[in-house]
């Protein structure tokens, strides 16, 4: 199963796929494009929801948050999480531990490549970039090594609190709360994209 080895598919998962996971998907794409000047030489970034609003537009506040970061919100439609999404994904990043458990319960050997976003950030920060393949070998090779290294560290670097690995749902909340969630997601993504691309964010 799966795609040719010259691609690496990141799947962001939340509940409705209209707030958190669209923000995370589009911020990831934006950050990768900023670092590499392209959408990542084989990186494919998608999202879906465990109770996904199939075909629904992104929440308008989520669009505003993306605009704050200069990211593109256009052309988005919500998707319900399907087996095929999990099968194809090389890395699944979820908003919460419940989402992570739901993805893993779908099977498809998803356990070693499914993390909450904040959990993955914590693990990535502990990985020495010098131990990863250089970018000359390609983003895909580097990304696969990063996931293996993070999975190996998982039992050693536990969350300080259960809430530390959660990104809370802003659905129905005012724009100020959406913006705080957007900031949380942005801060969590930054070390991940730096590790994936080998390029730090421009100051």
CATH class of 8-196: alpha beta
pLDDT confidence of residue 40: 62
Helix/strand/coil for 142: helix
Among left, alpha and beta (phi > 0; psi -120 to 50; other), residue 48 is beta
Per-residue pLDDT at 39: 62
- CA 150 vs. chain centroid, Å, equals 14
Q: What is the Cα–Cα distance from 134 to 159, expressed in whole angstroms?
A: 29
Please give the angle made by the CA atoms of 23, 27 and 32, to the nearest 5 degrees: 155
Alpha-carbon gap, residue 34 to 199, rounded angstroms: 9
Partners of residue 114 on adjacent β-strands: 92
Which residue do the tokens 């796929």 mark? Answer: 17
pLDDT tens for each residue of the chain, 203 residues long: 344 458 999 999 999 999 999 999 999 999 999 998 876 678 999 999 999 999 999 999 999 999 999 999 999 999 999 999 999 999 999 999 999 999 999 988 999 999 999 999 999 999 999 999 998 899 999 999 999 999 999 988 888 898 999 999 999 999 999 999 999 999 999 999 999 999 888 76
For residue 62, what are the contacts with CB-CB under 8 A and spacing of at least 6? 18, 19, 22, 23, 73, 170, 178
Q: H-type helices in 6-73, by residue range?
A: 20-36, 60-68
Residues 88 and 91: their CA atoms lie apart, in Å, by 9
pLDDT at residue 158, rounded to an integer = 86
Structure tokens at 95: 């908003």
Contacts of 100 (CB under 8 A, 6+ apart): 92, 94, 114, 115, 116, 119
Kindly list the domain boundaries of the chain, sorted by start residue.
Answer: 8-196
In sequence order, what are the residues at sequence separation of 6 or more whose Cβ sits closer than 8 angstroms to the Cβ of residue 34? 201, 202
Specify the length of the chain in residues. Answer: 203
- Helical (H) or strand (E) element with 149: helix 139-153
Tell me phi and psi for residue 13, to 5 degrees.
-125, 130
What pLDDT does 43 receive?
Answer: 92
């Amino acid at each position: 199963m799966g795609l040719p080895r010259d691609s690496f598919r990141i799947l962001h998962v939340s509940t409705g796929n209209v707030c958190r996971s669209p923000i995370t998907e589009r911020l990831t794409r934006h950050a990768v494009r900023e670092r590499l000047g392209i959408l990542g030489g084989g990186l494919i970034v998608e999202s879906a929801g465990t109770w996904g609003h199939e075909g629904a537009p992104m929440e308008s506040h989520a669009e505003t948050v993306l605009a704050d970061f200069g990211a593109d919100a256009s052309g988005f439609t919500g998707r319900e999480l399907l087996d095929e999404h999990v099968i194809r994904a090389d890395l699944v990043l979820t908003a919460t531990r419940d989402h992570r458990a739901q993805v893993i319960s779908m099977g498809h050997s998803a356990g070693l490549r499914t993390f909450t976003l904040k959990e993955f950030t914590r693990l990535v920060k502990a990985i020495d970039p010098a131990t990863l393949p250089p970018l000359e070998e390609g983003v895909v090779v580097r990304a696969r090594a990063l996931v293996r290294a993070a999975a190996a560290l998982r039992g050693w670097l536990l969350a300080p609190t259960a809430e530390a690995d959660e990104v809370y749902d802003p659905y129905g909340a005012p724009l100020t709360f959406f913006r705080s969630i957007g900031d949380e997601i942005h801060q969590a993504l930054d070390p991940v994209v730096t590790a994936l691309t080998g390029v730090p964010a421009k100051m």
